[in-house]
Amino acid sequence: SSLGFSFVLPGTPLHPDNSLVPKATSALGDPKASRMSTSRCVALLVAILHLVRALPANISEAPPSGLRGAVGVAGGARPVLRQQSNGDSCSTGGPGVPEDFARFANTSITIKAPASTIWSFLIDMEHWAKWNDVFSVRIEGAPELELGKHFMISSYFATAPWGLRRTTLRFNLTAMEQDTRLCWEALGVPGLSARHCYAFCNVEGGTLLYNYEDHSGLLEDIVRRTMGQATTDGFARFNYFLRNQSESAAMTKFAGPDSPH
């Protein structure tokens, strides 16, 4: 989700465990290389600060556009959600925000299909790329999901600032309650804790699905201002594709093999 944001400069080497920490190099003994590395970091921070200054104080003030309105994401200004109750995800207002976290991206969509059908598409992560253009997943080890499973999500957020539209991040599966809740947390992002969840609620005629992400840490505010709306747009677009897949599957199952075409 978040699913997903990382400060990764082009050409930055990764550790074998895919964490976003540069490998130790001879730069420590090479003053010129060290100065170049420092200059790149400073240039990145300056670019981000310029982006933040150009954004509204509450990035969600941007008017709805594209698929955002089609998938149940409310437009208009809204406050940043912080430290709300963690009670029932299907109670009024939807999933609460854990203590010390803030809601980074918040979307929902009503799908005319049972939760079990939607769940089957979500947990089949390695095949996401076949039916959506926002996320693709590579699972480490066996493809079956279980608590503690690690996987990489590559994201494409079309409305993000140029250079931040494509991100790849490693995640750890932290919650897996069948047809109810699915969550994972980002690994290896300095200064940021990120938790992406799907919550399922039974409603008349189908399922209300919440797709959201919460952040905490030193970089929470700057990341939200820079990538919050773009990530929300990406989640909304993914919801649209997921709805199409789930409703098509539900209709096929309901019609049965002997139904006329």
Q: Which pair of structure tokens corresponds to residue 246?
A: 């789930």
- pLDDT category at 8 given cuts 50, 70, 90 is very low
Residue environment code for 26-62, b if the CB has 16+ CB neighbours within 10 A, otherwise e: eeeeeeeeeeebeeeeeeeeeebeebeeebeeebbeb
Residue 41: pLDDT over 50: no
Best CA proximity match to 103, nearest among 85, 79, 67: 79
Query: Which segments of the chain does DSSP mark as H helices, in order?
Result: 31-54, 115-123, 220-255
Residue environment code for 141-166, b if the CB has 16+ CB neighbours within 10 A, otherwise e: eeeebeeebebbbebbbebbbeebee
- pLDDT category at 1 given cuts 50, 70, 90 is low
Mean per-residue pLDDT, 74-100: 66
Residue 195: pLDDT over 70: yes
Mean per-residue pLDDT, 228-249: 98
The DSSP code sequence of 178-201 is TTTEEEEEEES-TT-EEEEEEEEE
Residue 62: pLDDT over 50: no
Q: What is the pTM of this model?
A: 0.69
Q: Specify the higher pLDDT residue, 257 or 75.
A: 257
Average per-residue pLDDT for the chain = 77
Best CA proximity match to 72, nearest among 212, 181, 202: 212
- Residue-wise pLDDT for 100-148, tens only, equals 999 999 999 999 999 999 999 999 999 999 999 999 999 999 988 999 9
Lowest average pLDDT, out of 143-152, 180-189, 252-261, goes to 252-261
- pLDDT category at 89 given cuts 50, 70, 90 is confident
**Sheet containing 135-139, strands listed edge to edge, beginning at the edge strand earlier in sequence:** 102-111, 206-216, 193-203, 181-187, 166-177, 150-156, 135-139
